[in-house]
Structure 1
Amino acid sequence: MAKRIAVLVSGGGTNLQALIDAQARGEIVNGEIAAVIASNPDAYALERAKKAGIPTYVVARKSYPSSQAMTVALVEQLQALHIDLVVLAGFMVILTSEMVQAFPNAILNVHPALIPSFAGPGCYGLHVHEKALEYGVKLSGATVHFVSEECDGGPIVSQKAVEVLPDDTPEILQRRIMENCEWKLLPQAVSLFCQGRLKVEGRTVRILD
């Protein structure tokens, strides 16, 4: 049985598109994107999903009094859809512990930096790349990790680096990391999960042959 994947989105959905394209090329082995769920009813990612024929749902943050109430509703939606793997792809809501408890080691997130650098609360979107440039790092990149109750603190599945160039702006660096790192790492990690090839041992993730 193919693993059922739900992708959680809030905005444009470029990482979702990378997953859709990888699925179309047959690169997500033993998995299928069964649902795209948005925290924002106007997210363009929903259009990408509809074009690909993927069922869409909205669990809007503003419809709930707290992040916890929204998280509980989201868990109920995911369980009703019999989801095996949850993928956070530019999902801008901090989920509470109910999500991790419902899907232990079954939530993947892609972060646009080499964790533990430029990670944690407040490090999202362009802020990550602004911090990297301010610090003067020579390499940055992306990290795919399992989601734990600590923000950006779960076990690391994969990382990929790119050079930071002298004339980079946050926007230019963001684009290079998306194209060269995020759009490659995330589909690979999803495929490995769906094949049962990711084994979590404490903080370490082993990739099985």
Structure 2
Amino acid sequence: MSDQPKNNNVKKIVIFASGSGTNTENIIRYFENSSNINVAAVFSNKRNAKVLRRAYDHNIKALYFDRDALYNSNEVLHVLTDINPDLIVLAGFLWIVPSIIIENFPNRIINIHPALLPNYGGKGMYGMRVHQAILNNKEKESGITIHFVNEAYDKGEHIFQAKTVIEDHDSPESLASKIHELEHHHFPLVIEKILLKES
């Protein structure tokens, strides 16, 4: 793990991700030289997820956990309590967060969703499934939603949305590329705004 800055006012982020971790690495890079915000750890529920390698490469604590550690033994909660992050960021994390973690970190858990909620959210709506559904319904625009996390998939209070126009020639892949651009640009900025507003 990288050395923690000496400044006691440094805000700590913990990131949860299930996949390759492009958003996670983008967030890590954004705050790498920050004097007041630090990515303390990356958690993943996939043992071989590329996101864990990305964390290692940046000398950030990378932790794998299974379903039992999250939902039954509360091991994940115990580790989080030890770290005491100012913000828990879900960046492509596909499991629902247990209520005990939400209760212990009220208004300190946020998620990013690759659509304009409340549309195209809920269980099973992630990744290419979202983009395909949006194209199937011939929507004219899509975007991202950053929101607080509660006990239901994608139902928490909205913090921020950004939109992109859908062209007639767009495919799920090209729409995904547009959405990734929005995510990479806006997600670190919104995280920063949330944390610095609390200072």
- Give the corresponding residue for 2:55: 49
- Give the corresponding residue for 1:142: 144
| 8 Å contact kept, 2:96–2:152 | no
| 8 Å contact kept, 1:6–1:85 | yes
> How far apart are the structure 2 equivalents of 1:74 and 1:126?
29
> How far apart are the structure 2 equivalents of 1:197 and 1:161?
27
AA partner of residue 184 (structure 2): W
Give the direction of change, closer, same or farther, for the CA distance of 1:167–1:25 in structure 2 (3 Å limit): farther
AA partner of residue 52 (structure 1): H
Pairing 1:16–2:29 present: no
> How far apart are the structure 1 equivalents of 2:83 and 2:195?
17
Pairing 1:38–2:40 present: no
AA partner of residue 46 (structure 2): N
- Give the corresponding residue for 2:6: none
| 8 Å contact kept, 2:96–2:151 | no
The alpha carbon displacement at 1:39 in A equals: 0.7
AA partner of residue 42 (structure 2): V
Runs of 4+ deviating beyond 3 Å: none
| 8 Å contact kept, 1:100–1:107 | yes
| 8 Å contact kept, 1:13–1:89 | yes
The Cα offsets for residues 150-209 of structure 1, whole Å up to 9 and x where unpaired, read as 211111111111111112111211111111x111221011101211259xxxxxxxxxxx
Return 5+ residue gaps in structure 1 as ranges: 199-209
> How far apart are the structure 2 equivalents of 1:68 and 1:55?
21
Written as runs of structure 1 = structure 2, the 5 A alignment for 1:38-77 is 38-61=44-67, 64=68, 68-69=71-72, 72-77=74-79
> How far apart are the structure 1 equivalents of 2:106 and 2:144?
22
The alpha carbon displacement at 1:25 in A equals: 5.8
> How far apart are the structure 1 equivalents of 2:184 and 2:144?
10
> How far apart are the structure 2 equivalents of 1:163 and 1:98?
39
- Give the corresponding residue for 2:191: 190
DSSP-derived class of the 2:135 partner = helix
Percent identity of paired positions between Structure 1 and Structure 2: 34
Deviates more, 1:73-82 or 1:159-168: 73-82
Return 5+ residue gaps in structure 2 as ranges: 1-8
> How far apart are the structure 2 equivalents of 1:115 and 1:14?
22
> How far apart are the structure 2 equivalents of 1:54 and 1:78?
15
| 8 Å contact kept, 1:4–1:84 | yes
> How far apart are the structure 1 equivalents of 2:162 and 2:96?
24
AA partner of residue 77 (structure 1): V
> How far apart are the structure 2 equivalents of 1:146 and 1:101?
13
The alpha carbon displacement at 1:8 in A equals: 0.6
DSSP-derived class of the 2:144 partner = strand
TM-score (norm 2): 0.89
> How far apart are the structure 2 equivalents of 1:84 and 1:74?
16
The alpha carbon displacement at 1:2 in A equals: 1.0
The alpha carbon displacement at 1:122 in A equals: 1.7
The Cα offsets for residues 34-91 of structure 1, whole Å up to 9 and x where unpaired, read as 0011111101011111111111111123xx28x6226x32211111222221000111
The alpha carbon displacement at 1:96 in A equals: 2.0
| 8 Å contact kept, 1:37–1:56 | yes
